[in-house]
Amino acid sequence: MVGESLLSRQPSPNVTRLLVLVGVGLGLNGIYAGLLWSKFFPSWLAVIAAILDAVLAIGLMIMLPQHAQLLLPLLMVPVMLAGLRWSAEAGLLMALPIALSYGVPLVPLLSGDIDRIQVINALLTAAANAIVLFIAGGLPGPFIRQQLDLAAQDNEAELKSLRVATERGKLISEMALTLGSTLNYRKVLRTMIDLAFSAMAEVGTKDESTIAMVLLFEGDSENGADRLTVAAGRNIGRSDEGRRVSGEEGLIGRTIRTAEATITNNAQKDRVLTSFASTPGCRSAICAPLRAGLNTYGVVLFCSTEPHFYNEEHKQLLTTFCSQAIITLQNAQLFEDLQREQQRILEKEAEARRKLARDLHDGPTQSIAAIAMRLNFIKVVLQKEDIAKAYEEVVKVEEIAQRTTQEIRTMLFAMRPVILETQGLLPALTQYADRLNATESFKVTVNNRGYSSQLTGEAEGVVFAIIEEAVGNAKKHAQASEIRINLLAGKSSLMVEIKDNGVGFDVEATKSTYDQRTSLGLLNLDERAQLVGGVCSIESARGRGTTVRVEIPFAGVKEAA
């Protein structure tokens, strides 16, 4: 009895096979999990795994036909996996043998007495399960595939955006490197517009007909000269090079007022834009300010013949570009101004040397030559033992030498009057006049009305140089017997007047021939006055003498200093 009880507890062969099948399934899934974790799951292994899953599902159906309905969720797993992994066709193909395995429960019914109602119910159940399997295999695939395609498109768009951003970053870095490698102002402008053109072409559709310009302010906007000049361009005609336009109207004016990039899609109606010869067919335009701090130095303008061509992305890019470019542009402009100032100083030094050479030639050199001639004459007279005549000539040589000494001292005083630095303008002018009166044939007088050192030392030095230049011109050309230097101090400025009673000259005719002359005395007067914020005017006519007037503001000079 005990042996029979033990034998009755041993599992049947069907249960053993079922346990083996379940164990195989669990083992395979463990293997799959390990392979996935190790990131080794090639496509051929996926096909083998799908076939094995189908075999296991069919095996379960065969072994447990009476539980076919309960096994449906488990049998749907390999079907759905095939549809999701490959396609709806693969899911349907996987569902087909599993759906056929639902015919296993029908075999006992067909082998015995046929109960029609039971057979119909079994067929309906098998058909319903097969339909569910086919739906599980065919429906999720397209839906998931669509979602995957959308995700892939989003990833591609994001990747493209990142690629564009990377390229744009490289372009901006290249721009900074290129612009930073030169301080030539004109080269910076050309490089800036070329790089801006390339940068804008990286966004959206490239338009080869795009017109690009850099427009910079010229003059003082406070005096009404708030106009922009085309300093550089791309695809523009020669007639537009150097063209000046208003900085107050249209797209350009709006950009300057708002201090941010602005877009218009009605470029053909903008009066300023249509004034360019290069923009006859432009329909859309974008303009960004070249701005540093609170100062606007100009704008960068792009015009396209395409409607609605520019967008917010263009605005951001052009704004970034202009922010990077303005620093280099400022440095280049400062460097060019420094070079121009250096060249001006060199020209001034050369002019001073020429003036010194002329003064030495016209004055001391002639006197020294006269001394040499008289000394030679004295030698001849001494050979004839005419002591009285020799003594008379020695006296004349002494007079010439003393006069020459005074001339040289006056020249040195005019070049660097120490008294001007220590005591101021008025004592320096008084001493200068005394020196001239001691050596020259004309009389110099200084009249002061109210001036008591209101100007800075630098400005007084400029005023003295202007007076010395004007007196020197009168000495050489005016044939005057009297020169008056008048100082008149007002509430806010000093008026200086240098007036002679000489032969006079035609001012306009003299200025018009400066390109053929080596002396630029009149221009020197005007340039020196401008250095301290002043203005210079010259009045003269033949036979009526010459008057040089210079007005220099007090406050403006102190602020400049």
Cβ–Cβ under 8 Å, residues 191 and 212:
no
Number of domains in the chain: 4
Concatenate the DSSP letters of all residues of 466-479 into one string. HHHHHHHHIIIII-
On average, the pLDDT of the chain sits at 76
Q: Say whether both 202 and 331 belong to one domain.
A: yes
Provide the domain limits for residue 456: 423-561
Q: Say whether both 81 and 229 belong to one domain.
A: no
**Separation of alpha carbons 79 and 90, rounded Å:** 8
In this prediction, residue 558 has a pLDDT band, given cuts at 50, 70 and 90, of very low
SS3 174: helix
In this prediction, residue 482 has a pLDDT band, given cuts at 50, 70 and 90, of very high
Q: Which two tokens stand for residue 165?
A: 């951003």
Q: Say whether both 239 and 320 belong to one domain.
A: yes
Q: In this predicted structure, what is the pLDDT of residue 529?
A: 83
Q: Say whether both 376 and 270 belong to one domain.
A: no
CATH number for the domain harbouring residue 490: 3.30.565.10
Cβ–Cβ under 8 Å, residues 178 and 315:
no
Q: Say whether both 113 and 14 belong to one domain.
A: yes
Is residue 450, in this structure, part of any structural domain at all?
yes
Q: Say whether both 378 and 467 belong to one domain.
A: no
Is residue 538, in this structure, part of any structural domain at all?
yes
Is residue 176, in this structure, part of any structural domain at all?
no
Q: In this predicted structure, what is the pLDDT of residue 113?
A: 58
Q: In this predicted structure, what is the pLDDT of residue 561?
A: 33
Q: Say whether both 119 and 194 belong to one domain.
A: no
Is residue 348, in this structure, part of any structural domain at all?
no
Token pair 């001339």: residue:
407
pTM: 0.45
Q: In this predicted structure, what is the pLDDT of residue 172?
A: 66
Q: Say whether both 468 and 521 belong to one domain.
A: yes
Residue range 184-240, pLDDT digits in tens: 667 777 777 777 777 776 655 566 678 888 888 875 444 334 788 888 888 888 888
Residue range 309-340, pLDDT digits in tens: 888 888 888 887 787 777 777 777 777 777 77
**Separation of alpha carbons 377 and 372, rounded Å:** 9
Q: Which amino acid is at 181?
A: S
Q: In this predicted structure, what is the pLDDT of residue 446?
A: 92
Listed residues 385, 415, 445: the one ending a domain: 415
Measure CA 19 to chain center: 78
Q: Say whether both 122 and 211 belong to one domain.
A: no
Between 376 and 325, the higher pLDDT residue: 376
CATH number for the domain harbouring residue 291: 3.30.450.40
Q: Say whether both 218 and 327 belong to one domain.
A: yes
In this prediction, residue 108 has a pLDDT band, given cuts at 50, 70 and 90, of low
Q: What percent of the chain has pLDDT over 90?
A: 5
Q: In this predicted structure, what is the pLDDT of residue 486?
A: 93
Listed residues 138, 155, 173: the one ending a domain: 138
Q: Does the structure show a pLDDT above 60 at 559? A: no
Is residue 175, in this structure, part of any structural domain at all?
no
In this prediction, residue 3 has a pLDDT band, given cuts at 50, 70 and 90, of very low
Q: In this predicted structure, what is the pLDDT of residue 54?
A: 76
Is residue 233, in this structure, part of any structural domain at all?
yes
47-61, 140-154, 171-185, 397-411: lowest mean pLDDT where?
171-185
**Separation of alpha carbons 214 and 349, rounded Å:** 36
Between 173 and 14, the higher pLDDT residue: 173
SS3 553: strand
Is residue 353, in this structure, part of any structural domain at all?
no
Helices (H), 181-239: 185-201
Q: Say whether both 192 and 281 belong to one domain.
A: yes
Q: Say whether both 555 and 496 belong to one domain.
A: yes
b/e for 398-408, b at 16 or more Cβ within 10 A? eebeebbeebb
Listed residues 338, 371, 403: the one ending a domain: 338
What stretch of H or E contains 493? strand 493-500
Q: In this predicted structure, what is the pLDDT of residue 9?
A: 44
Is residue 349, in this structure, part of any structural domain at all?
no
Nearest CA among 26, 31, 52, 53 for reference residue 41: 31
Between 409 and 491, the higher pLDDT residue: 491
